[in-house]
Amino acid sequence: MTINLINNISFLIALAAAGQVVVLRLPENTLNRQVLLGLLFGGAALLGMANPVNFAPGVFFDGRSIVLAVAGVVGGGVTAAIAAGMAAFYRYQLGGIGAPVGIIIVLLSALFGVLARQWWLRRTKPPRPIDYLALGVVVQLMQLAAFTQVPNRAGYAFIEQAWWVLLLFYPLTTMLLCLIFRNVEQQLIDKAALQSARDALVAEERASLQRFRAYFEHSSIGFAITSAEKGWLEVNDALCAALGYSRDELTRLTWAELTCPADLPADQMQFDRMLAGEINSYDIDKRFIHKEGHLVETHLAASLVRKPDGGVDYVVAVVEDLSERKQAQRSLAESEARFEGIFEQAAVGIALVATDGRWLRVNGRLCSIVGYTQEELLAKTFQDITHPDDLDADLDQVRRMCAREIDNYSLEKRYYRKNGGIVWINLTVSMVRKNDGAPDYFISVVEDISARKAMEQSLAESQMAALAEEKRAQLAALNLRDEAIAARQQAEAISATLAGQVDELRRWQAAMLGREARIISIKQEVNELLAQSGQPPRYGVQLPTDRVPGVGQIPSKSAGDEA
């Protein structure tokens, strides 16, 4: 029995060695690998059955349950099916009263191995040694239970003698074989991961080199590879365009030859320090001499690349053309200087105001308008010095501008001066926004309109006085009209009275005229009688007048008297 056990252990060791070769040589989960493993495990099961431990005619046991369970765990369904088919067929050929039970043990051992594999694959963690041991115990319990079904109770003798071997050594052997194959598979996984990492690293290095070459060739910034002797080894188009040389022309020159003499000592000092190992890189603003002779302002960043032995290999130089930036900086400085001049020398008050009303910056004219120093005004808000009656209208315009309803606004309002007095101002406000469109600050222009307001008030007062005088004149005219109407009415009354008296005078006048005509007629008759008697006329004859002596023409009432 001992010899047979030793032989079975030898077969299992040989199985493990041969299985490792198959697992290592063939890719995982391929049909060829599964078939070869199935043949290998089936062969090991046959060798075990060829050297069994006999307990009765046709009743024996061996290590096939271990082999077939491990086949299901390592190779899966295909491997287990091939191995179990080979073992079941061979056991059938051996015959005996224990053949049916032996075939059942073969099939169930393989099935338990496959089920355990599927269960473990569903878990996120790999199986533990205790899991393999538990599988071995379950398989051997199944084998002991199966031996009770051998006819004529022939299996009980086997159970009495071998149960401790089955429950002690066989589960341990199952666990060890599973761990051996899992270790081999883990080595394969680690090897594949390592190879994948190496491939990824090589691919990344290749891609990085390609990206660097693309950056080098297509960058808008100048790139160059230079030697320790300051020669240009490689240059890109951007550097050629900045300096005005072709690639062939640049590679025949050194960067020292193209550096402005005034900037060369500082650049040379940093370059020598880098070669000496004191620094690994440096950057500096310097000027190159263009092919046409003018200076090109640049920013140089240089990094040293060393060989594996620590020697100098080459220098990577990044040359950024600063001509446009420098020009923009000069233009900005000039613009800022102009702004400063306008801001400080303006005849009106100018201020930068935060969105919460704090004065951020004020000019001298604004300070003189409100009577505060710059320090005092910067400690306040525009709300602090705004007249309460004007504040709501101003804040409403601020709200509308922040909400983008308006872009700017103007209004007239009153500030309190430091001495408590009131100054009228005309305020014009616009907003500066951030890049994201949010309000940043206000620009306020403040014009002192107190003199204009005083003039407007004086003019208003003059206009009111003139209006009052006009009203008084109108009232006097109305009084005169009333007097004239009364006088006309009185005159009309007098005229009516006189009209009656004139009529009476006219009747009297007519009577007097008739009497005078009669007297004249009598005098004429006397004169005619005297003439007939030869005497001279006694009376002088005067024609009567149509008026009574002393009585003038009295005008009659006409429509014009109503005027």
The closest of 330, 275, 272, 265 to 297, measured between CA atoms, is 330
Question: Rounded distance, CA 248 to CA 241, Å?
Answer: 13
**Which pLDDT score is estimated for 180?**
83
What is the C-alpha to C-alpha distance for residues 387 and 280, in angstroms, rounded to an integer? 65
Burial class (CB in 10 A: 0-12, 13-18, 19+), 30: exposed
Strands 349-354 and 439-448: antiparallel
Q: Do domains 1-193 and 340-453 have the same CATH topology?
A: no
Q: In what order do the strands lie in the sheet with 349-354?
A: 359-362, 349-354, 439-448, 422-433, 408-416
How do the domains of the chain map onto residue ranges? 1-193, 219-324, 340-453
Taking alpha carbons only, the member of 419, 358, 423 closest to residue 390 is 423
pLDDT for res 561:
41
Third-level CATH fold of 340-453: Beta-Lactamase (3.30.450)
Written as tens digits, the pLDDT of the chain (563 aa) is 444 555 555 555 556 556 555 555 655 667 888 888 888 888 888 877 877 777 677 777 677 888 889 889 988 899 899 999 999 998 899 888 888 998 999 999 999 999 999 999 898 888 999 999 999 999 989 988 998 888 888 778 778 877 887 788 889 888 988 888 888 777 777 777 888 888 888 888 788 777 777 777 777 888 899 998 888 889 999 999 999 999 999 889 999 999 999 999 999 999 999 999 999 999 999 999 999 999 999 999 999 999 888 888 899 999 998 888 888 888 888 888 887 878 888 889 999 999 999 999 999 999 999 999 999 999 999 999 999 999 999 999 999 999 999 999 999 999 999 999 999 999 999 999 999 989 999 999 999 998 888 888 888 888 887 777 777 777 776 777 777 677 777 777 777 776 667 677 777 777 777 777 777 777 777 777 777 777 777 666 555 555 544 444 444 444 344 33
* Single-letter residue type at 269: M
Concatenated DSSP letters of 395-453: HHHHHHHHTTS-SEEEEEEEEE-TTS-EEEEEEEEEEEE-TTS-EEEEEEEEEE-HHHH
What's CA 251's distance to the chain center, in Å?
46
Place of tokens 């307001």: 453
- For residue 157, CA distances in Å to 52, 153, 163 come to 15, 8, 10
Structure letter (DSSP) for residue 381? B
Q: What is the pLDDT of residue 552?
A: 47
User: How far is CA 146 from each of CA 107, 114, 142, 169, 405, rounded to the nearest angstrom?
Assistant: 12, 19, 6, 19, 92
For residue 448, what pLDDT is reported? Answer: 92
Whole-model pTM: value is: 0.40
Architecture of the CATH domain 219-324: 2-Layer Sandwich (3.30)
CATH top-level class for 1-193?
A: mainly alpha
